[in-house]
Structure formats: C-alpha cells, structure tokens
Amino acid sequence: MADESSAREIARRVREGEVTAASVIDAHLTRATAAQPRLGAFTIIAAEAARARAGELDAALARGEDPGPLAGVPIAVKDNICTRGMVTTAASRILAGFAPPYSATVVERLEAAGAVVIGKTNLDEFGMGSSTENSGLHPARNPWDEARVPGGSSGGSAAAVCVGAAPLALGSDTGGSIRQPASLCGVTGLKPTYGRVSRFGLIAFASSLDQIGPFARDARDAALALDAIAGHDGRDATSADEPVEAHLAALEAAPERLEGMRVGLPREHLDLCRDDGVRAAVEAAVATLRDLGATVREVSLPLTPHGIACYQVISTAEASSNLARYDGVHYGHRAEGTENIVEMMSASRSEGFGAEVKRRIMLGTFVLSSGYYDAYYLRAQRVRSLIRRETLAALDEVDVLVGPTSPVTAFRLGERLTDPLTMYAVDAFTVGANLAGVPAVSAPCGADADGLPIGLQVTARPFREIDALRVVDAFQRATDHHARRPALADGRAPKEGSRG
Ligand code: GLN
C-alpha cells in the first residue's frame, strides 16, 4: 500500500477487488505501530478489532456486497469520541479503563460506510489545550520535528494522518482543536458548522462550541469523510435538520478555477500575526487564489482581539458544568480510603483531573458564581453575539474569509506549558469560527525557515462547508504544499512494495 494513497483511492481499490481490506488495514497498523514510540499519536492501536472488522468487509465483498464509499478505509478516532467496547478516556486519568456501551453517531456512520477504526488518538485531556502536552497519558510529538508539539487538542489525529498511519482521522474542535493541529502538522482539517455533525457520543467540553470534523491529506478526502458523518441525528438536540449536499461530488464537478468566488481578507488576522514567515505564506496563497480567478478584498473583524477572552469565559463555564459528572460514582477513577462520600468525590476529582482541567473548572465555576456572573459570563455572552454578528456581516459581502490558521508554527515541547496565557494566545484566529458557529478549514500553504508547515484558514457561511472546501480544493490542484511529507521515513514502517 503506497504511503500516499488517498481514502478515495483505497476505497475504490477495495470495492473493485484490487486489494483486500485486510491488507490495507495491516499496512496501516504496521505504520501506526512503527511511529508510535516516537510520536505518541495514539492512546490505543486497536489491531485486533481492526483486523476482525477488515475480515468482515472482505467476506461481505466476497458475497458480492458493497461495503460503501469508505470500504476498507482506515480511520483514527480522537479518544474523546466514544467507540463501543473500545476504551475511551479523553486522555484523562479520571476515565481510565472506561469502555463505552455505545459508539458515537459519527463512528456508527463511518463504520456503516465501510471505514475501519484502527485506533484512538491522543489529545489534551478533555480537549483542553493547544499542544497535546496536557494529555494525561503522554504528550504527542510533531512528525516534522519531534522536539516540537503537533498542536492540539487533536494533536494525535493530525500526527497520525501526517505520517500515513491513516488517511483519515476524526477530531473535535471547540476553539481550534482540529484546525490548529492540522496547521502545525501540514494536513487538511475541517471544523463543520455547529450542528452539521452530531455530537452524540462526543465527550463534552463546551457544548455550545464543540464540533466533530475530519483530518485528511486533501480537501477531497475531507469531503468524503464529511459526506459520511454530516446530517441530522435525533440523539443530538443541537444537530441541524438541514439538507446535506454531496460535498465530494460537488468538488469533482466544480470548475478548476475560482471565477466568481469572493474572498475576504480580515485585516486584523494579518495585522495580529507577528510571524513574517506565516504572513508571507498566507499572502502568497492569496495571490494564488487571485490567479485562479477569485476576487479578493480586505474586510474587517475588529473584535478579533477579544476572541480569546470571550472564548475562555464561555468554554470554561460550560466545562465546569459538563465535568461535574466525573464524581467517582458514575465513571472511571474512584479514590480509595476516604471516610465519606463528599471526601470520596473530592479526592477522586483531585486525583483524576490534570492541572489544566482543574484550572478550567475553577475558572468556569468562578465566572458562573453569583456576584461575578453578570461581570464575566453574561458579558462574554454579549461579546459572543457581537462576534457572531460581525463574522456573518463580513460573510455577507464575500463567500469566504481567508487568513492564517495559527499565528505561529509548531513550537517546542515545554515552551508554552508554564504560561497558560501564551498557550491560549495561539488560538487567536480559530476561536472566532466556534463562537460564530461557522465552518472553517485549515490547509497547508507553505513552510517556515525551519521547514515547519504553515496553515491557511478558510472560513465560510453556516452550512456552506462546500465554499471553503472548493477554495482549498482549487488551491491544492494548483499547488503541492499539501503533498509535502516529513522526512521521518525511519519512523514509518518499511515501505511495502506489494500488497493484497
Ligand atoms: N486550544 C483551545 C483550548 O485550549 C481549543 C481547544 C479545543 O478546540 N478543544 O481550549
């Protein structure tokens, strides 16, 4: 199995009988296992379950059945997304050993389309972080430079796709957790519109912001995955009952050029980006979009500097409520040797949660407490409304907004860990899409002086994922930034020459 086979190509070959699902899964499990000691991208590699599932698919094919558009496609799933019978911990000690009795809707849908879960990926505990250093298990590392972080919180998913352990992975994005690691690892990541994809079975961080989405090597594979997971789900009251278009087919039918596409450049996103390499790469990408026929104009999002504060108040408030359920009774870890139930709950939480999660719970409890509620939480809600209004107004004038995904490229492990504010600062351009509920894609658009990937963020109107994907797809057909791979060849499995 060639390293660079897309999910589309794998599914085609499996459906046409050119290769078996078993051989595809074996090759990817080998690669995932070989990279694991160096990258720590996985929390578990589910070799046995994946092989069993591949065997079932091959048997179905032998009977003449079509397993679906993702036949035999390996997929890595962020470990805050429930997989039935497969340990799901959100990288938290408090959920150690928790095997959910059901799968998330997204997992059910992917499996129904023929995909095979090969493992669960590492994350910042409960999704709280931007580097995957807050994992309660072990940090994940960036395949481009193992001394650097892969971004977060879905750092494991981004690293797994980057090294070809799987062509597709799922992540969740509350304030940038799909787009920022996609940017730092040089892969394509999509945060859909709030409500586009069911959150049923996603371990909640901040429910009004959380959204599940795919990582892939290009826009077309991301579209293929979105087609499988999007759509209404009666088990998630916030899932939208809006028609879902066939994104992959639409990309395949679209013209190569971008005539008629109106691109807006938020002035503040470039002004607030102090890294010359990132700014230059984004400006070059914009020039390419112009060459492809898009019209480009400046727009303004003056509230950008207030995004992080607004996001931190709302997300910690919601997290403090969502995480109340981890009490030593319902799930996971329970402290030993306590005298009564209050002590037991308190000790279980103290032992089970990591430092960043505790910080967020305390902040969230504070901003919701009486006397502070109006000053913090209510005010943040008002700012959120203004940010949403401002974003939608900009998107009234243009079809997509384009800018840097992250103000920085991959930073060194430890570099931002001791100062939470510098860690939060890297989310400056990503939190807006969550606060506004709009879809956004990150795609590779170049490299800095050290060869580290730079990401371009493309934001679209609600339920117009297709516009962002079209811009990225046209860009990827005209350039090859997305095809660049790290020289971590020795961290991979030996090249498989034959298969099937
Ligand atoms: N980095 C942001 C945070 O620390 C966003 C995380 C996320 O999207 N899950 O909260």
On whether residue 433 sits in a domain, the answer given is: yes
Ligand 1 atom nearest the C-alpha of 130 is 1
In this prediction, residue 166 carries a pLDDT of 98
In contact, 130 and 137? CB cutoff 8 Å: no
Contacts of 63 (CB under 8 A, 6+ apart): none
Q: Are 277 and 412 in contact (CB under 8 A)?
A: no
Mutating to test ligand 1, I would choose from 123, 130, 154 the residue with most ligand atoms within 8 A of its C-beta, which is: 130
Q: Mean pLDDT, to the nearest integer, of 283-303?
A: 98
Mean predicted lDDT score pLDDT of the chain: 95
What's the CATH number where 20 sits? 3.90.1300.10
Instruction: Tell me: cis bond preceding 153? Omega within 30 of 0 counts.
Output: yes
Residue 487 is predicted with a pLDDT of: 83
pLDDT confidence of residue 4: 65
Q: How far apart are CA 485 and CA 470, in angstroms?
A: 23
What is the pLDDT, as a whole number, of residue 2?
40
Distance 129 CA to ligand 1 centre (A): 5
User: Is the pLDDT confidence value at 462 over 90?
Assistant: yes
Taking a C-beta distance cutoff of 8 angstroms, is the pair 190, 226 a contact?
A: yes
Indicate the number of domains in the chain. 1
Whether residue 329 lies inside any domain: the answer is: no
CB-based pocket (< 6 A), ligand 1: 127-130, 153, 173-177, 205, 315, 427
Q: Report whether pLDDT(286) > 70.
A: yes
CA of 431 to the centre of ligand 1 (A): 8
Share of the chain above pLDDT 70, in %: 97
Cα(279) to ligand 1 centroid in Å equals: 23
Q: Pocket of ligand 1, candidates 128, 173, 318, 426: which has the most ligand atoms within 8 Å of its Cβ, to mutate?
A: 128
Backbone angles phi and psi of 476, in degrees to 5? -70, -25
Among protein residues, the one whose CA lies closest to atom 10 of ligand 1:
128
The answer to the question of residue 190 being in a domain is: yes
Gap from CA of 323 to ligand 1 centroid (Å): 15
Q: What is the extent of the structural domain holding 184?
A: 7-304+385-490
- Which pLDDT does position 330 carry in this prediction? 87
Please tell me the predicted confidence (pLDDT) of residue 496.
36
**Given the CA of residue 178, which atom of ligand 1 is nearest to it?**
8
Name the residue of 315, 320, 356 to mutate for ligand 1: max ligand atoms within 8 A of Cβ.
Answer: 315
How far is residue 205's CA from residue 401's CA, in Å, rounded to a whole number? 27
Contact 263, 295 (CB under 8 A): yes
400 occurs within a structural domain: yes
Tell me: the pLDDT tens digits for 163-181? 999 999 999 999 999 999 9
Q: What is the pLDDT of residues 477-486, one digit of tens each?
A: 999 999 999 9
Buried-state track 48-70, b at ≥16 Cβ within 10 A, e below 16: ebbbebbeebbebbeeeeebbbb
pLDDT > 90: percent of the chain: 95
Residue range 72-95: average pLDDT?
Answer: 98
pLDDT of 488 over the 70 cut: no
- What secondary structure does DSSP assign to 82-144, as a single string? -BTTB---TT-GGGTT---SS--HHHHHHHHTT-EEEEEE--SGGG--SSSTT-SS----BTT
In a domain, 484, yes or no: yes
Q: Which of 439, 457, 449 is nearest to 392 (CA)?
A: 439
- Give residue-wise pLDDT tens across range 409-434: 999 999 999 899 999 999 999 999 99
Could you identify the atom of ligand 1 that is nearest to the CA of residue 174? 8
Summarize pLDDT for 440-456 with one digit per residue, the tens: 999 999 999 999 999 99
- Number of the ligand 1 atom closest to the C-alpha atom of 431: 5
DSSP state of 197: B
d(CA 384, CA 21): 46
Q: Would the pLDDT of 497 be above 70? A: no
Predicted confidence band at 499 (pLDDT cuts at 50, 70, 90)?
A: very low
Which pLDDT tens digit goes with each residue over 96-152? 999 999 999 999 999 999 999 999 999 999 999 999 999 999 999 999 999 999 999
Assess if residue 422 is contained within a domain: yes
Is the pTM of the predicted complex or chain greater than 0.85? yes
CA 29 – CA 9 distance, rounded (Å): 18
Q: How far is the CA of 177 from the centre of ligand 1 (A)?
A: 5
> Is residue 349, in this structure, part of any structural domain at all?
no
For tokens 């860690």, what's the residue? Answer: 423
Q: What is the pLDDT of residue 3?
A: 53
* Catalytic residue set: 78, 153, 177
Question: Quick check: is 230 in a domain?
Answer: yes
